[in-house]
Amino acid sequence: MSKPPERDQEGRALDFFGAVTASATHEIKNELAVINEHSHLMLEMLQMAAQGREPDPQRLQELTSRVIARVGQADQVVKRLNTFAHSAEKQRDRCQVGPALELMVRCYLRLAALRDVRLELEPLAGGEDLAIKAPPIQVEQALWAALQAAVGAAASGSLIRVSLSRAGEAVSLRLAGELSQPPAEPPAELLAPLEATARAEAGALVLDMPLNPPAAA
Amino acid sequence: MRVLLIDDEKELVSTLSERLDLRGIANDWATSGEQGLELIAAKNFDWVVVDLKMPGLGGVETIRAIKQRQPQARVILLTGHSAAEDLKQALEMGADRYLVKPVDIDDLLALMQQGRD
C-alpha cells in the first residue's frame, strides 16, 4: 500500500482547522443529544400527567435545570468555535498567547479525554500579557501540535499540566506529566515561521517561541 | 427483551434508560465499555446500544468484546456523526445496526423490532 503524500503547509492548516471544528461539532452534537433526551422525557412525563398520572415535580425541575445547563455548555462551545474562526482573519498579526493557549487547551480537552488523559492549564506566571508578533492562527497551530505531541505520549489515566511563562524575549510553553514515551516533536514547518523550538525534557515537552520572531519582522 | 445502553455521557444514557422504563423495556446502562462488559458478564442482553467514541475501551473494541462474550446479543452503534470509515469499521466488527445522535427513540425501537422479525 502506498504511503499518503506529505501534507504541505496549507494542507496542514486545513487538517488543523478540520480537527478543531470536527471536535467542537462533536461536543455540540453531544450537548444536543442530551438536551434531546431530557426534553423528550419531560414531554413524556407531561403527557402522562395529562392522562392522570401524577408527575414528579422534583424530577421535572431537575430535568429543566439540566437542559438549561447543557444549553449553556453548548453555547460555550459555539463561542469557542467562533473565537477560533476569527483567529484566521488575515489582518491579525499579533497573538495574545495566554488566551490562545486557553482556547487550544479547551478545544483539546475532549480529544485528550478520549485517550484518557486530562489537561490542566496553570495560571500564567505573573499574569503577564504576552503577545507574539505573528498571526494568531500560526501560534494556535503550533500550540495544538504541542498538545497533540504531549497527549500522544502521555500514559493512560494521566494528567498533563500546561503552563506558560516568559523566558527573556520568548514565551515558553511547558507540557509536563507522566509520559509513557518521548513526545514526537511538532512538525518543523509549523515551528519555522515562528522561529520556535521544541525540546523534550524529563516528563515534559517544552516549546519556546520568540515574542518577535525575525521571520515576522 | 433486555437492553444494555453504553455511553460515556451519563446524562444521556440514564435519561434514555428512564424513557425505556416508561415503555416497559427492561434495561441497564453503563458509562464505559469496561463497565458495560461487567454487566455483559452478569446478564444476558438481547440488544446492546454502544456509543462509538468513548474514553478507555472505545465503541469498536467494546463491540468486538460483546460479540465474543454474547454472540447472540445484537448491537446498535450510536454515533455523533455518520463518518463512513467509523461506521464501516464498526459494522465489520459486528455491529448489527447504527443510529446517529440525537437518538429518536421511535427509530431505536423500530430497529429493535426489525431485528426481532
Tens of pLDDT, residues A145-201: 999 999 999 999 999 999 999 989 999 999 999 998 888 888 888 899 899 999 998
- Cell (9 digits) for A188: 518543523
Least confident window among A21-35, A150-164, A180-194, B29-43: A180-194
Preceding amide of A213 cis, omega within 30: no
How far apart, in whole angstroms, are the C-alpha atoms of residue A35 and residue A70? 7
Q: Contact A184/A145 with Cβ under 8 angstroms? A: no
Residue A25 in contact with partner chain B when CB distance is under 8 A: yes
3-class DSSP assignment, residue B63: helix
Is the CB of residue A125 less than 8 Å away from at least one CB of chain B? Answer: no
Q: State how far the Cα of A165 lies from the Cα of A198, in Å rounded to an integer.
A: 15
The per-residue pLDDT for range A130-148, each reduced to its tens digit, is 899 999 999 999 999 999 9
Question: Measured between beta carbons, which residues in chain B are less than 8 angstroms from residue A116?
Answer: 55-56
By C-alpha distance, which of A107, A128, A129 is closest to A119? A107
pTM for the full predicted model: 0.88
CA distance B49 to B3: 8
Q: Which residue in chain B is spatially nearest to A29 when comparing CA positions?
A: B80
* pLDDT for A123: 85
Query: Under an 8 A CB cutoff, do B102 and A116 touch?
Result: no
Contacts of B12 in chain A (CB under 8 A): 30, 33-34, 37
Largest CA distance in chain B: 35
B11: left (phi over 0), alpha (psi -120 to 50) or beta: alpha
Residues of B within 8 A of A119 (CB-CB) are none
The string of pLDDT tens digits covering residues A90-141 is 677 899 999 999 999 999 999 999 999 999 999 876 556 789 999 999 999 9
